[in-house]
Amino acid sequence: MMIEKEIYIIRHGQTDLNAQGIVQGKGVDAPLNELGRKQSDAFFQVYKHVKFDVVYTSSLLRAQQTASQFIALGIPHIIDSNLDEIGWGDAEGKANFTDHSDIFENLTTEWKAGNIYYKMPGGESPFDVQQRQLKFIEALKATDYKTVLIATHGRFIRALMCTLTQRPLSEMDQFDHTNLCLYKIELHTDGSFKIIEHNNQGHLNELMGL
């Protein structure tokens, strides 16, 4: 099978709200903090040699700042709100909505049970996010871009890996992510996607003192 496109998908660098455990979603537009900028630079230093044809980012500042050094090279930059993080609705901006809170655990329990339509009041469900993803994927497939960089968000990436590999969204928590992790994907000529690198953080080793 021939490779049609190579797609590098990164989660944005850290923000102060990430560090404080405050939910951002697509409704809170926080900038990168100092560590987030260092993470972005570390990724750039390792991957600046890659001849990206295009850089896609979400409409959110933290994703755009994460890819800013690539954009500064003159690589075409496309902002697409279909790449925005899931909308957490009433939980956005709140510190008590963490991975260990009852509300969050109830939400993810529903998702793992297959209720992909379940969502916070005012927010989005995994199904809603997947519909955005499908629009983006079809648009990307129609382009001539061969080597693509996408800067997006954590929960979005988890859902996207299911979407690309045709796995149920109930399995999305199997796809780990950290700030500035990399998923590398191949799009084959038969239209199928293959995950080549999963939550790769090797570019951060020096920054983390490893």
For residue 162, what are its two tokens? 């299911």
- The count of other CB atoms within 10 Å of the CB of residue 129 is 27
pLDDT class of 95 with cuts at 50, 70, 90: confident
The Cα-based distances of 210 to 47, 48, 66, 145 in angstroms read 19, 21, 22, 35
Catalytic positions, please? 12, 85
Rounded-to-integer distance, Cα 50 and Cα 69, Å: 13
For residue 184, what are its two tokens? 């590398």
The Cα-based distances of 64 to 47, 59, 100, 126, 149 in angstroms read 17, 7, 29, 23, 12
* Residue boundaries of the structural domains of the chain: 3-204
The CATH number of 3-204 is 3.40.50.1240
Q: Is the pLDDT of residue 99 over 90?
A: no
- pTM, full prediction: 0.96
pLDDT class of 96 with cuts at 50, 70, 90: low
Q: What is the pLDDT of residue 98?
A: 63
Q: What is the pLDDT of residue 100?
A: 61
Mean pLDDT score, 124-131: 98
